[in-house]
Chain A
Amino acid sequence: MHMDSQKTTIVKKEIRLFQSLGWKRNLLAVAAGFVVCTALEQITIATSGIREISGFDLSVAVMPLCGFSLAGWGVLGFILANVCSFCRLLFLHQAGALQNLLLVFGVRLAAMAVYCILPGSLWYRIRLKGEDTIRFPRMNTCAHVLKYYVIILVSTAIYVAMTALAYQSAFTRADLLNWAVTYTQYVDVALILGIPLLVLVSLVRNKTVTINERLVLAFLFTGVIAASLGGFLIYRTAAYLAPQIFREAHTYAVSSATSVTLPDISGSAYLRFRSMYYVVIAILLNGLLAIELLFMRRIEKKVTEPIIHVADALEGYADHEEDALDSESVITKCAPYEQGCGEVSSLTRTCVSMVGEIDAYTENLKAITAEKERIATELNVASKIQKDMLPGIFPPFPDRPEINLYASMLPAKEVGGDFYDFYLLDQEHLVLTIADVSGKGVPASLFMVISKTLLNNYAQSSRSPKRILTYVNHQLCVNNESCMFCTVWLGILNLRTGHMVCANAGHEYPVIRRRGGEFELFTDKHDLPLGLRDGLLYHDYEITLAPGDCLFQYTDGVPEATDCDEKLFGEERLIETLNREPGASPQQQIIHVHEAIEEFVKEAPQFDDTTMLCVEYRGSDSLNSAKYLYQDALAVPARLDCLERVTGFVEKNLDRLECPEKARFDIELAAEETFVNIVDYAYDGGEGDLTIEFGFDEDCRTAVLVFTDSGIPFDPTIQPAPDTSLKAEEREVRGLGIHIVRKTMDEVLYEYAGGKNILTIRKYIGENVQQ
């Protein structure tokens, strides 16, 4: 598309240049025309041997060419030159009958004007089949050459006819022959001079010459040679055979040069010779041109046109804006040219088969890409599933202030083989696990799932790290054809006491920081990783964590993180990073280590999964884990008619403690209000149970009641106090009971755990109390 616009611009420039010049250029054109015409005239006169009676004039012969290029203004120059020469001639001879001469001259002038303008305008008006814009004459196709030839024939015929009629009104046969010969002379010059000139212009303009142009030139050149040879032979033969013809010729030449009228030469032998001479030349030249045209036409049909059509078809193929390549249309368009065993058909066949192959290749590529995308999507889903398997909500046990726990796993590929795990076995025991499966990618992740599940399941029943590892190792070895294994560190921490039993199956040393101290490697005893050898017995060891101690575990992806120079991050750097801020929270520590690794490896790709687990033990100083002695418990349905049982239960326990009256009243009141509250609202009108536990905290001589129900979560501690300025019935009905509880009890503690509301109320009951 771009090319076309360029061509259009060039064409427009051409036409603009030659048809609408500024006045200076017009003047220049006029002057040029004048000069050229005069020059040609002089050449004609100087070589007067060639100048013929019938007025063949070189300056006239080149007029069509001027018509193509200088149009309009150049023509004017030519006409002016002719006028001048005529005037000169007139002065020279001072002949009579000026009127007659003027008429003749006038017609001649008109004929010349026609001869100048007609070819040019015909060229630009006649549109060939399939041509969008008419360009400057260029002999690059058969059609163009033929067009030029026909225009020359027609224009010359008109000129010659007009000139003949100017000179003579009656024509003898000899006259007609004479004028016919003149006609052929003009046509020949238009061919011999015109075509090369046009090719030259084309060369200058386009910097290149097409095959046809070369061919035309070649044929013309051959024609000129042939004609010259032929002419020379004829001349020589004539000179030898009939020398008197040439004596005649000389006489005629002299007389015609100096007169404005034509001498009578009818019947002359010279004339006959001359006619024959020129006819032979004309036949040779035109004949060869005709042969060239036929030749060229054949090439065009067989080669050029097929190539252009195939090129068009392929251009459309590659240029297609839609995704689908339109090979169908290419194959259809190229089909007519595939037949045959010539070079063009061979090329066409190759192109068509290439198009077919590209199609097949593209289809294949699409299929492969789709497959790859499908696999990538599935891996993403697998990665997500695996990620969801690891407990990822932090803090995991918000109701257990004894520990602050954080963990993270960054996989190397889409799915990884590392994992961590933590869960409560019961109210007091927390299991911590960290593991690393050999290898990476999908196989490691599958093995990871199995290992994690086995460890979790068996921990529930066994509760002893060494037995857990022994059993899981056996299970992993039983069906392990692929010889995969995993390193595991597992610890069971007693949240109340800080006592931890751990086992290490080939995993890294844990890093421990004692309260107020720094992180240090704890070099525990290692057993072999799980899955390597069946029947192994594992060992465990004990650590006690004091409140404020912190344990950090990790997989080898951390110390083995590599930078671009293949240097390892290392354990020392890890401990250094942890100790930058030893008192930081577990989450902070893990973030610090991630940042340090990133800083260290820079652009190097992540080679292995990076997993970390950090837990800080805060101890069981909190109120919830005070040393209670739960003396009694009662389970009742949440129904109002059970109030008596509740009251009886509370009274019984208070009796046992010999609780003073004041505290007693308060406790009973609070118990009733709490119970009624649960009855009214916990199960939203449905049925449910609740449990009341009665305890006595010896340390602070405090009676403790714990109400547990599995109803709608409701935290009485965050309810606003009822607006007691309101009238009685306007007060929020529920709020009053809770208000009483909060006001009468020393402490009201609420937690929601395990799907249950747990409300603990405590009241100091004074001294002198016996158990």
Chain B
Amino acid sequence: MTRMTTKISREGASVTIHVEGRIDTISAPALDDTVCEALKDETIMDLAVDFAAVSYVSSAGLRTFLAAKKRMEERGGTLLLKNCSSNVKKLMRITEADSLLTIE
């Protein structure tokens, strides 16, 4: 049973990854691949991750997003994590990732 699924939608230079399920140590690599896939096109400048359907994130997922953020910065783009639940926000706060990532 896959605990996590992703969907990529694209609008011009922005890409949104809709994630559904749990982002934990096992599923984080898959997410990483998805992000790589999405960013293959060098023209992509805005990446957004939709957390609406995400029930759980652990530190592995966090690292994925931090790596993605770095890649976006390299190309001068942005990363946005949107629709984060309070739990996710709390995690970001604990790890002080909220100073590095843009969270909604």
Contacts and interface: CB of A to CB of B under 8 A. Distances in A.
Given A728-B70, A729-B70, A640 B26 contact: yes
10 contacts: A643-B24, A644-B26, A665-B56, A668-B56, A728-B69, A728-B97, A736-B62, A736-B95, A739-B94, A740-B58
Interface in B72-104: 86-87, 90-91, 94-97, 99-100
Given A669-B58, A724-B95, A724-B96, A729 B25 contact: no
A690 to B, nearest CB: 15
A298 interface: no
Given A724-B96, A736-B95, A662 B67 contact: no
A647 B87 contact: no
Given A643-B26, A647-B24, A676 B95 contact: no
Contacts of B86: 662
A673 B59 CA distance: 7
Interface of B: 3, 22, 24-26, 56, 58-60, 62-63, 66-67, 69-70, 86-87, 90-91, 94-97, 99-100
Contact of A739 (B60, B87, B95, B100): B95
User: What are the 5 A-B residue pairs with the smallest beta carbon separation, nearest first?
Assistant: A728-B66, A724-B96, A665-B87, A743-B94, A672-B58
B94 A643 contact: no
Nearest to B55: A665
Given A724-B95, A740-B95, A743-B94, A676 B25 contact: yes
Contacts of A676: 25, 58-60
Contacts of A673: 58-59
Contacts, number: 57
A737 to B, nearest CB: 5
Contact of A662 (B25, B87, B97): B87
Contact of A737 (B59, B67, B96): B59
A719 to B, nearest CB: 15
Contacts of A323: none
Given A665-B56, A729-B66, A672 B24 contact: yes
Given A647-B22, A729-B70, 9 more contacts: A641-B26, A643-B25, A665-B87, A673-B59, A676-B59, A724-B99, A728-B67, A736-B63, A739-B95
A737 B63 CA distance: 11
Contacts of A739: 94-95
Nearest to B22: A647
Given A673-B58, A728-B63, A737-B59, A640 B25 contact: yes
B51 to A, nearest CB: 13
Interface string A664-705: 010011001100100000000000000000000000000000
A579 interface: no
Interface residues of A, number: 23
A431 B69 CA distance: 61
A669 B60 contact: no
Contacts of B59: 673, 676, 736-737, 740
A311 B4 CA distance: 112
A386 interface: no
Interface in A732-747: 736-737, 739-740, 743-744
Contacts of B67: 728-729
Interface in A511-557: none
Contacts of B96: 724
Nearest to A647: B24
Given A643-B24, A643-B26, A676-B60, A669 B91 contact: yes
B32 to A, nearest CB: 14
A371 to B, nearest CB: 71
Nearest to B24: A672
A90 B99 CA distance: 148
Contacts of A729: 66-67, 70
B25 A672 contact: yes
B79 to A, nearest CB: 12
B10 to A, nearest CB: 26
A652 to B, nearest CB: 16
A555 to B, nearest CB: 58
A293 B62 CA distance: 126
Contacts of B90: 665
Find the residue from B59, B90, B91 having the highest chain A CB count within 10 A: B59
B61 to A, nearest CB: 10
Contact of B94 (A672, A727, A744): A744
Contacts of A736: 59, 62-63, 95
A575 to B, nearest CB: 58
A480 to B, nearest CB: 65
A220 to B, nearest CB: 127
Interface in A489-526: none
Contacts of B95: 724, 736, 739-740
B73 to A, nearest CB: 10
A728 B24 CA distance: 18
Contacts of B24: 643, 647, 672
Nearest to A641: B26
A738 to B, nearest CB: 10
Contacts of B26: 640-641, 643-644
A668 B23 CA distance: 12
Contacts of A643: 24-26
A765 to B, nearest CB: 15
Nearest to B100: A728
A740 B25 contact: no
Contacts of B56: 665, 668-669
B56 to A, nearest CB: 6
A449 B95 CA distance: 59
Contact of A740 (B3, B87, B94, B100): B94
Interface string A433-464: 00000000000000000000000000000000
Interface string A709-737: 00000000000000010011100000011
